[in-house]
Structure 1
């Protein structure tokens, strides 16, 4: 077993989100929350969350006093589904170099089937060039995500999400080295998850924002195995408020604090 400091940094700087979707179901919306997540604090960085009158997330702002600040705006379609995301930055050495747009495509069953990524061309006014897409296939209690870059016909990566009966991802496997002779690719990394029975920190956010990563509950243990068989085990510890919402998340010596607004 080995411990990877970089993995811990990735985990602690973001909240885990997963959701389950069956063949005959639309991309799920989380249950209506009792609280809305308003702020997360990690070291000197703060992330603030702003909602509209319907309690849908419309702005996410990450403030980094010593570095670049990031702002993400969310726009929804007439069905209330996430349609577009715009990311931009301010401050830092290259503030205009990180403007991106993400659009979401749904099928007749209102399931997310494609997430398109665009990069700013640096023209004025801004023109966004298509970069890649995530395509989603639904197969019983699993979702397959294929990432295909612009100009390619085969995915550069294939990910399989397996869900348990609670609607949480039980296993996440990444396949790479995909070609015409091996369209499914070779296993690169797999992660097995264990959960608590409390409310996930991002239940107040849009399910499509990070689908299929949208959990009902909080991950308390991750077992990651690479293609060589090396294993990394990561434990995540939470503190909760009186209603079971997490107010602190700790991995190793690093922690993130969460603030809520009751609705």
Structure 2
């Protein structure tokens, strides 16, 4: 899909330019270009995250436990909102050349909510696996969430140590700063990869989920949310023996 192709280009360009900025210092031209890429990447990532929220919100009642899916989706929305707010503040502080320690503290805050988002999305992915099942994507998301938590802990420890070390111990401060920076770039890469995996979900939701993949005789359909689904994805054509789901479903069990 076009949005994911644009996101791949924008996110990777932002990542590469940000790495270059760590090597080449005192370059205002790179700073300006990086800010524009930050804004473009944030807009594309925000669009993907918002669409993901809408998709799960509409189809949460079709999962094996609608209450858990809906609650997890709200937590994901909450964490994504704080992540976006933190990223906006980060851009402003970056423009005004604020102290590195302040930026590092804000980065840890942002990635904390980013890691929470990854964990919650893993829970959601597990519950919507009753609608469709992509083993490789599910395993990849779980690995990214697990590793991101470990990297976040290391980043928080060394970032905190850096702020408490005396200024005369330059070698220790430099080592801690390098480790913290590497952790932040690792987390950024994992988060970008994670949200790009949503392309699989886009394909399923845009084309429609075929009923013969998960329906059985114990399930019944109603059209309580037909307007919501149609407003998001458009009217779907009904074909015999392969009905597309556009409403809520109450199931006694899933096969």
If the TM-score is normalised by the length of the shorter chain, which range does it land in? under 0.3
Higher relative contact order (CA 8 A, sep 6+): 1
Q: Choose between structure 1 and 2: higher helix proportion.
A: 2
Q: TM-score normalized by structure 1?
A: 0.23
The normalised TM-score by structure 2 is 0.23
| Greater percentage in strand | 1
Decide which structure has the larger Cα Rg and report it: 2
